[in-house]
Amino acid sequence: MNINTTKVISLLFFIFSAFYLYTAYQIQVFAFDENAPFNARTFPIYLGYAGLFFSGLKLILPDPNTIKVNHKTLEYKKTLILIIIAIIYGTTILKVGYFLTTSLFLFSSYYFLGERRWVLMFLLSFPFVAAFMYLLHGVLDIYLRDPFLQSIGVMG
Amino acid sequence: MIEGILIGLTTALTLQNILMVMLGCFFGTIIGMLPGLGPMTAIALMIPITYGFDPATGLILMAGVYYGAVFGGSTSSILLNAPGVPGTVATSFDGYPMAQQGKAGKALAIAAWSSFAGGTLSAIYLLFMAPSLSKVSLSFRSPDYFALMILGLTAIAAFSSKGQFLKAMMMVVLGLMLASVGQDSLSDITRFTFNNMNLTDGISFVLVVMATFAMSEALTIILKRNDPTSAAKQVSLTELGSIKIYKEERTKMYKTIPRSSVIGFLIGVLPGAGATIASFLAYGMERNIVNDEEKEKFGKGSVNGLSAPETANNAACSGSFVPMLTLGIPGSGTTAVMLGALLGFGVQPGPRLYMTNPEIFWSIIMSMYIGMVILLILNLPLIPYIARILAVPKNYLIPLILFFSITGIYVMSFNNFDIYLMIGIAVVATFMRLYDFPMPPLILAFVLGGLMEENLRRSLLLSNGSWEFLWDRALTACILLTTILIVVWHMYKTMFKKSKS
C-alpha cells in the first residue's frame, strides 16, 4: 500500500496542533486576567485551532499535486553523519573551546563527505578557524571562550 | 527630504559603509550564483557579523548582500541556465539562448545595465514614496496593522507555494507557533517552555533563519546529492564574448526599462509578491507590447526579453523595502529576515523610523543606489572570475555553510542548547522541504508573530472582546477584503487548473 507522505506530515501536524492547543489551554494566567478579552493564552488558542483547521483540510481534501520522493536516491548516510558530527560539536564546544572543536568539526566533515586532499583539508580547518577566530575576537571584539587555548597559554 | 538624502549620503558614503556595500555585493553575488542558495541564506549567514556594527552599517551590508544575490542569480541564469534564485528564472528565457549564441558577455552586460537602471529608478520611486507612505501610515491603528499582517501572511502563502496553498498556510501557523514560545510580552507569563530555562526568552530569530535556510539547504544538497558548484566549473573565461551593447540594442532597452521598473516596483510593494512574480509579469507584458518581429525573438535571445525581467526583479527588491520601512511589515521572506535583524539591533521599523532614526532610513535608500553602482563597476568585469571561485568543491562548501550557521548561533548565545535546537529545526525543515513545504511563509510568520499578537491584543481590548473591529473601520475592512479576494482567486485558479487538466 502506498502512503502519501504529505498526508502523513499533515496528520503529524494535526496531532502537533492538538497538543499545542491542549498546552495553550494549560497556560496559567493571573486570576484577574482569567476573563479578560485577551490574555496570555488567547493567541496560542487561536493558533492551535488554525493549525487543526489547515492540517485537517489538507488531510481531507484530495492532493492532486502529490510529491513523490525516491528515497533510494537520497544520501541518508552522509546526511546523518553530518548531523551527528554537528551534535558532537555542540556538546563539546563549551568544554573544549571554539578553536579545537570547530577545526575538528570542519576537518571531519570534509573527510566524511569524501575529501582526501589532506593539506587542503588541514588549511581549510585549523588555520582557517584561527583566522576567523581572529576576525571575531580580535577585530569585531566578539568574546570567544576557549578553555583549550587558555590551557596552553595562547589566550588570556 | 533633501536633508534626509544628505543624512543618508553622509552615513552611506563613509569608508566603512562603502566597504560594507562592496563586501555585501561580492559575497551576495557568490551565494546568489549557487543554485538553491538564495538571498535569504546569504543574509542569514551575514546576520551574526552585522551585530558587530551599528544598525545602519549592518543594514547596508545586508542590502548589499541582497542585491548581490539577485545579480548573482541572474549570472547563473544566463551562463548556466541554472537560476540561483526564483526571481531570475525569467532571465534565463532569453539570457541563456543569447549566451549559447556566443554572446554571454553581451547578455551579462544587458542584465547588469538593466539591473542598474531598474534598481536606480526604483530607488528614486522609493525615495519619494517611502516618506509620504510613512506619513499616511501614521494614521494606521492596531486593527489595520492586524489586518495588514493577515494580508501579508496570506499573500506570501498564496504566491510562494506553487499551488500548495494549504501547505504554505500550515507553515504560517507553524511560524506563529514558534514565535509564541517564551515569555508573553505583557504579562511575562511563560508559554510552551516546558520548564526549560533556555526557552524563557523565546526562540532566537537568527536561529530559526539559520536552521530553516542555511543549515537545511546544506543538508538538502547532501541528501539530494546535488552539486551546486558543478555548473560553475563549466564556465569558460574565454567564451564570454564582448560586453559591448550596440546603439540599436540600447534603444530597445530605453523603452523596456522604464515600464518594467514601474511594474517591478509596484509588484514589489505588494506583500508576498516579490521579484519572481514581478519578473514574469514584466516578461509577459513586454512580449505583448513589442511588435511581431521582436515577439518572434522572445525565447531565442531577445534584448527586450532579457532586459524586462532583469529590470523588474531589481525594482521589486527596492519595492519590497517599502512596506518594511514604512509599516514595519515585511513584504517578502528576505525583508522579513532584515526586519528580524533590525529588531535585533533594537530598532523598530515602521512609520516612526523615518523620524526617530532618519540616518538608518535614508542610509538604506542611499546604499541601495551605491550598491547598484558597485554591482555594475565591480561585478560585471569580475563575473567570470567570481564564477571560478564557485568551483570550490561541494565537499568544502557544505561544511563551511554548516560552520557559519553554527558559529553564528554560538557567538550570539554561547549556549549549546541553541545548537541542538537549531539542528532539530534544520532536520525537520529539511524533511519538509523534500515534500515542498515552503519556508519563507514560516519566517515571515515567525517575525510577525509578536507584532500580530500585540495588535490583536490592543484591538480586542479596545473593542471589549468583540471582533467587530475587523469591519468597523473602512481601511481594515478593505484590507481584509483584499485578503479574501487573494484566497478566492487562488482557490479559483487551482480549481480552474485542475478542471483544465
d(CA B501, CA A66): 15
Strands B182-183 and B190-191: antiparallel
**φ, ψ (nearest 5 deg) of residue A63:** -115, 90
d(CA B242, CA B471): 60
The more confident residue out of B36 and A87 is A87
Spatial CB neighbours of B351, under 8 Å, sequence gap ≥ 6: B134, B135, B137, B138, B140, B326, B327, B328
CB-based contact B434 A69, cutoff 8 Å = yes
Could you tell me which residues are beta bridge partners of residue B191?
B182
**Which grid coordinates belong to B302?**
531577445
pLDDT in tens, chain B (501 residues): 677 778 878 888 888 888 888 888 888 888 777 766 677 778 887 887 787 788 888 888 888 888 888 888 888 778 777 666 667 878 888 888 888 888 888 888 898 889 889 888 888 888 787 777 777 777 788 898 899 889 888 887 887 656 678 899 999 999 999 999 999 988 889 999 999 999 998 998 888 988 988 889 889 989 988 776 665 566 555 566 777 888 888 898 998 999 999 988 888 887 666 677 788 888 888 888 888 888 888 888 899 999 999 999 888 888 888 888 787 877 677 888 888 888 878 887 777 777 777 777 777 777 777 888 888 887 677 776 766 666 677 788 889 889 888 888 888 788 889 999 999 999 999 999 888 898 888 988 998 898 899 999 999 999 988 999 999 899 899 989 988 998 888 777 766 666 665
CB-based contact B457 A54, cutoff 8 Å = no
Give the other-Cβ count within 10 Å of B295's Cβ: 16
Is residue B91 within 8 A of residue B309, CB to CB? The reply is yes
| Full 3-state SS string of A52-113 | HHHHHHHHHCCCCCCCCCCHHHCCHHHHHHHHHHHHHHHHHHHHHCHHHHHHHHHHHHHHHC
d(CA B34, CA B50): 22
Is residue B477 within 8 A of residue B471, CB to CB? The reply is yes
Nearest CA in chain A to B194: A23
Looking at residues A31-53, what average pLDDT do you find?
92
Match 482567486 to its residue by C-alpha cell. Answer: B489
CB-based contact B464 A58, cutoff 8 Å = no
Residues of chain B with C-beta less than 8 angstroms from the C-beta of A118: none
Domain hosting B62: range is: 2-500
Residues of chain A with C-beta less than 8 angstroms from the C-beta of B464: 37
Measured CA angle at B223 (ends B31, B387), to 5 deg:
25
Nearest CA in chain B to A4: B435
pLDDT of residue B495: 67
d(CA B323, CA B479): 14
State the amino acid at position B304 in one-letter form. Answer: N
A38 touches chain B (CB under 8 A): yes
Q: What is the DSSP letter of B463?
A: T
d(CA B225, CA B169): 29
Is residue B285 within 8 A of residue B315, CB to CB? The reply is no
Q: Specify the 3-state DSSP secondary structure of B76.
A: helix
Is residue A21 within 8 A of residue A45, CB to CB? The reply is yes
d(CA B480, CA B232): 46
Give me the helix-helix angle, B2-12 and B358-374, nearest 10°: 60
d(CA A118, CA B345): 41
| Full 3-state SS string of B336-396 | HHHHHHHHHCCCCCCCCHHHHCHHHHHHHHHHHHHHHHHHHHHHHHHHHHHHHHCCCCHHH
d(CA B498, CA B501): 5
Positive or negative CA dihedral for B246, B251, B256, B258?
positive
Q: What is the dihedral of CA B417, B420, B425, B431, to 10 degrees?
A: -170
d(CA B465, CA A3): 44
Positive or negative CA dihedral for A137, A141, A146, A148?
positive
Match 517564551 to its residue by C-alpha cell. Answer: B182
Looking at residues A96-114, what average pLDDT do you find?
93
Nearest CA in chain A to B192: A23
From the list B385, B374, B381, the residue with the least C-alpha distance to B116 is B374
Interface test with B, best of A7, A61, A95, A113 (most B CBs within 10 A): A113
Is residue B159 within 8 A of residue B274, CB to CB? The reply is yes
Q: Which class for B49: exposed (0-12), middle (13-18), buried (19 or more C-beta within 10 A)?
A: buried
- A window 39-78, beta carbon within 8 A of B: 39-44, 47, 50-51, 54-55, 57-58, 61, 64-65, 67, 69, 73-76, 78
Residues of chain A with C-beta less than 8 angstroms from the C-beta of B498: 64
**Which grid coordinates belong to B79?**
551562463
pLDDT of residue B239: 63
Number of compact structural domains in chain B:
1
Q: What is the dihedral of CA B147, B151, B154, B156, to 10 degrees?
A: -140
pLDDT of residue B1: 66
CB-based contact A82 B406, cutoff 8 Å = no
Residues of chain A with C-beta less than 8 angstroms from the C-beta of B421: none
CB-based contact B184 A40, cutoff 8 Å = yes
From the list B500, B433, B493, the residue with the least C-alpha distance to B165 is B493
CB-based contact B192 A50, cutoff 8 Å = no
Is residue B127 within 8 A of residue B6, CB to CB? The reply is no
Length of chain B counted residue by residue:
501
Q: What is the DSSP letter of B191?
A: E
DSSP assignment string, B114-182: HHHHHHHHHHHHHHHHHHHHHHHHTT--HHHHHHHHHHHHHHHHHHHSTT-HHHHHHHHHHHHHHHT-E
**φ, ψ (nearest 5 deg) of residue B182:** 110, -165
